[in-house]
Amino acid sequence: MALAGGIPPEHRVMVVMPSMITSTAGIEALAAQLAQHSIANPQAQAQFALLTDWADSDTPDLPDDAALLATAVAALQQLNHQYPTADGQAPRFLLLHRARQWSSSERRHIGWERKRGKLEQLVRWLAQPEAAATPFLALGPLSQCRPDTRYLVTLDSDTDLPPGQLLALVAVAAHPLNQPRLDTAQRRVVAGYGILQPRVVTPLPVPETVTWYHRLFAGQCGLDPYSAASSEIYQDVFGEGTYTGKGLLHVQAMHRVLHGRLPQNQVLSHDLLEGSLLRCAGISDISVVEDAPVHADVANARLHRWTRGDWQLLPFLAHPRRWPMALINRWKMLDNLRRTLVAPASLALLLLVLATGVLPLGLTLAVVAAAFCAGPLLGALAGLAPSR
């Protein structure tokens, strides 16, 4: 849907960066990133917000909290001074910050349900501004959301939103055929889309920081919309993409489907589950930019977190009546579980062959090598292809 005049008031959007306030340098980096999103996407009907928590703590408050919050407030006030809105309008840049709460599972004071909780509470506040008390600290104009905000675009702190991509996302969401239609009995979207997932691409590496690990596993880098057209197989074949946590959320649909529904302290990888219930569209011609890990330890920590989250979704697969989802989304969850078993299954196969000789050792090594190396090798070959 063409929005030649920019985003209209009936399709207001808020770009949010869920993050944590931990240091002065970190706050400055977050504010700079938020300003970059705004400069690249100068839409009058868009707000840009830091959606923040404190670091985990054994106590509700820490001595440095007040100073860090004052630094964050000053940084956002400076941005609003540099990029003012029309008189009487809510400011362009917001700071939505939560206090710590006691978590019985973590045995610490944390932001309730971390990233998922921040987004759920913000969605509830936007969907029912009169009925829902604000979950965020009162920070004057920095807490003033514009009324009738229809969409959220959530980005990680290391994700870039290239010029024009915010308008493009809202234009897709505004199309009548993409409007989410809910099954109120099952509390899920059955037609249209409640989430839009843009393509995530890797930027060109900085020569001073690039490593061999990055060269091998990052795949093709840089934006190349002409010679490297992308296809999302799930979207093209089954009409649904895969939500990876960076994209556009329909506020009312998300509130009606997810509010108070997911169990607390039990869901680490919530993106795939949310995409399954809200119905996610993979938008391969709209891109956001996110760097790939440059060291193996960073990638391993991420993989460990993903693996834990994948297995936490097993109860949702075991109760199809309580958690109705399309078969293709159940397949995605099962495929993720299968992927986590490749390494232990390969080790078990090698030990079995070494102990019994039931299969030729050379054949076994070839099978195991193929299981581990086929994907990275294809990605490395794609990365060697020149970008123009």
State the pLDDT at residue 376.
Answer: 66
CATH architecture assignment, domain 9-312? Alpha-Beta Complex (3.90)
CB 159 within 8 A of CB 257: no
Average the pLDDT over 300-305 and give the result. Answer: 86
State the pLDDT at residue 86.
Answer: 82
> 7 to each of 17, 191, 283, 298, how far by Cα in Å?
20, 24, 19, 38
Residue with tokens 């009606």: 256
CB 54 within 8 A of CB 20: yes
pLDDT tens-digit series, residues 121-161: 999 999 998 876 789 999 999 999 998 999 999 999 999 99
State the pLDDT at residue 383.
Answer: 55
**Does the pLDDT at position 222 exceed 70?**
no
**Does the pLDDT at position 180 exceed 80?**
yes
State the pLDDT at residue 379.
Answer: 61
**Residue 26, token pair as written in the block:** 């970190």
Residue 153 three-state SS: strand
State the pLDDT at residue 162.
Answer: 95
Q: Helix, strand, coil shares of the chain as percentages rounded to 5?
A: 45, 15, 40
300 or 101: which leads in pLDDT: 101
Residue 77 three-state SS: helix
Round to whole Å and give the CA distance between 244 and 262: 18
Instruction: Give me the helices (H) in the chain, please.
Output: 24-40, 65-82, 114-127, 165-174, 212-217, 233-238, 251-258, 271-278, 296-312, 314-318, 327-340, 342-356, 361-384
Average the pLDDT over 38-67 and give the result. Answer: 95
CB 95 within 8 A of CB 47: no
State the pLDDT at residue 291.
Answer: 83
pLDDT mean across residues, the chain: 89
pLDDT tens-digit series, residues 341-367: 998 999 999 999 999 989 899 999 998
Grade residue 266 by pLDDT with cuts at 50, 70 and 90: confident
Average the pLDDT over 241-250 and give the result. Answer: 96
State the pLDDT at residue 228.
Answer: 47
Round to whole Å and give the CA distance between 217 and 215: 6
What's this model's pTM, rounded to 2 decimal places?
A: 0.90
**Residue 284, token pair as written in the block:** 């391969």
Nearest to 274 by CA among 193, 192, 334: 193
Average the pLDDT over 217-225 and give the result. Answer: 64
Query: What's the farthest any 2 CA atoms get from each other in the chain?
Result: 79
**Does the pLDDT at position 233 exceed 70?**
yes
CB 205 within 8 A of CB 268: no
Grade residue 223 by pLDDT with cuts at 50, 70 and 90: low
Round to whole Å and give the CA distance between 243 and 196: 8
**Does the pLDDT at position 370 exceed 80?**
yes
